[in-house]
A and B are shown apart, each in its own frame.
Chain A
Amino acid sequence: MSWDIKGIQQWGWKKHPAGAVIKDPGNSRSFKTGGWRTFRPVRDEEKCSQCLICFVYCPDSAILIKNEKVVGIDYDFCKGCGICAAECPLDAIQMVDESKLNK
């Protein structure tokens, strides 16, 4: 079922489906949780050996893979937990304070 939620932030109370039921499930892709992050993982392409350990450990599937290679980090969903940086055997990922980065 496709559910038109255009302008939902302005909806009056009568318009919402009773019981806070979401009639269009599986929509977490459109709910960007990257904003929760305070530390950003930054990968050093030079140091990385493409072992893919970070990809296995990332709880948010935020390590982007193409042709079996890490091609980047999805900052729309990465919550900055730092697991990738801790697990990387080559210290190829550094956690950088978001407030010190120009976004």
Chain B
Amino acid sequence: MAISNKLINSQTNKEKTGNDKTINNSKAVAIVGTDAVSEAMRQINPDVVAAYPITPQTAIVESFSQLVADGLVKTHMVTVESEHSAMSAAIGASAAGSRVMTCTSSQGLAYMWELLYIASGLRLPIVMPNVNRALSAPINIHCDHSDSMGARDAGWIQIFSENAQEAYDNTLQAIRIAENPDILLPVMVLLDGFIISHAIERVEIIDNDIVSKFVGDFNPPYSLLDSQNPVSVGTFDSLYGYFFEFKRQQEEAMLNAFKVIKDVGKEFGEISGRHYGLFESVGIEDAEFAIIATGSAAGTIRHLVEDMRSRGIPIGMIKLRVYRPFPAKELAEALSGLKAVAVFDRSDTFAGNMGGPIFIELRSSLYDLQQRPLAINYIYGLGGRDLSIELIEKALGELIDAARSGQVKQTVNYLGLRE
């Protein structure tokens, strides 16, 4: 359902949760995560949306089509017959110079596979919320990160959200990041299936005109429809070839993204009071050991970490927000000198006891440090398995033991698995 009616009855927000209490330009509403995303899409008002419904993303497509039908956006909505076609249509429309969005989940993302690489290879700034859901088999519609993690090398920027508010905020920022002339890469905004997508939360919706000003207009570097300046797109790279050079350019765009993501996060903070960086740290400065997590689990973990800190336990936490590009240098700086870190992964790599993808990359980031913390990995929540407070406490206990004894009992652990 479109949420514009709810907005009319909502109260103007005067109390901000962010650190900037003077900002008063938003309305607080109680909505589910999918509506937070479609509300961001309404305000972005993309030229083209090509999408195909899949659980748990379906509600985004539903409420956005309602907005199109109600004439509340000027978007040309392409109702395609598959995700492969959704991304293909998005690529064509983006190359034509449009601001384009789509969204998907799980098998849908997997079905887009070959097109993901084409979108990034052609440097098309398509923005796609992906509602994280497990990949089959067995068929499972619940949350884990195996879908987007599978696409980690596809050349897309990937930004995780902790809650519905962040899903909204990240979707708005993704447009600015993707379309930055130094980047021009597609961006995935990630939100946990059901936990964020289908739970009602308090979300602050920023006023329309402020959002319009923030996202601005898309100035494409070229357009297939510009007959005065014709271009060829999607050409064949022949035997002599420049393929290697173009791949190096994509890596450069990712390197540029570190600064742009921080700049956009800062600018977004000025209009919303909510400031964003590559990751968020809690008490890392004086911590002896820390947890690294992402997505909705970070909320539960922060609650525990803050409670333990109030009891004098020297624990810290890093919530990884940006997974691609991976902020290896900044993370290593933040974690240098710590005794031990525990990395939470909501997907496995099936690499033979190497651990989850975040663990592998984080551990590699720490390699060059003179004083490396010990590293433990917890794979949790696959297929939507609940991550309870008790399970996190168990992991924290093991983390503290490792930090005290200087020894890791078991590097890769399955948290919440029935043994």
Q: Which residues of A are at the interface with B, using a C-beta cutoff of 8 A?
A: 1, 8-9, 11-14, 16, 18-23, 25-26, 31
Contacts and interface: CB of A to CB of B under 8 A. Distances in A.
The winner among A9, A13, A23 for most chain B CB atoms within 10 A is: A13
A22 B235 contact: yes
Contact of A13 (B124, B221, B231, B248): B248
A11 B219 CA distance: 27
B249 interface: yes
Nearest to B238: A31
Contacts, number: 57
Given A25-B232, A26-B230, A20 B246 contact: yes
Nearest to B120: A19
Contacts of A25: 230-232
A57 B120 CA distance: 39
Contacts of A23: 222, 229, 231
Contacts of B233: 19-22
Given A19-B122, A21-B232, 10 more contacts: A13-B245, A13-B249, A14-B249, A18-B253, A19-B123, A19-B233, A20-B246, A22-B232, A25-B231, A26-B232
Contacts of A20: 121-122, 233, 235, 237, 242, 246
B231 A16 contact: no
Nearest to B247: A13
Contacts of A12: 245
Interface string B240-261: 1010111011001100000000
Contacts of A22: 231-233, 235
Contacts of B246: 13, 16, 18-20
A18 B232 contact: no
Nearest to A31: B238
Which 10 residue pairs spanning A and B have beta carbons closest together? A19-B123, A13-B245, A22-B232, A25-B232, A13-B248, A19-B122, A18-B123, A25-B230, A20-B246, A21-B231
Interface of B: 121-124, 184, 221-222, 229-233, 235, 237-238, 240, 242, 244-246, 248-249, 252-253
A95 B374 CA distance: 70
B386 to A, nearest CB: 43
Contacts of B237: 20
The winner among A16, A20, A21 for most chain B CB atoms within 10 A is: A20
A19 B184 contact: yes
Contacts of A26: 230, 232
Contacts of B231: 21-23, 25
8 contacts: A1-B229, A1-B230, A16-B246, A19-B123, A19-B184, A20-B246, A22-B232, A25-B231
The winner among A13, A16, A18, A26 for most chain B CB atoms within 10 A is: A18
A1 B240 CA distance: 24
Contacts of B232: 21-22, 25-26
Nearest to B244: A13
A19 B250 CA distance: 9
Contacts of B230: 1, 25-26
A52 to B, nearest CB: 31
Nearest to B234: A20
Nearest to A23: B231
Contacts of B248: 13
A15 to B, nearest CB: 8
Contact of A19 (B124, B229, B240, B244): B124
Contacts of B252: 14
B121 A19 contact: yes
Contacts of A14: 249, 252
Given A25-B230, A25-B232, A11 B123 contact: no
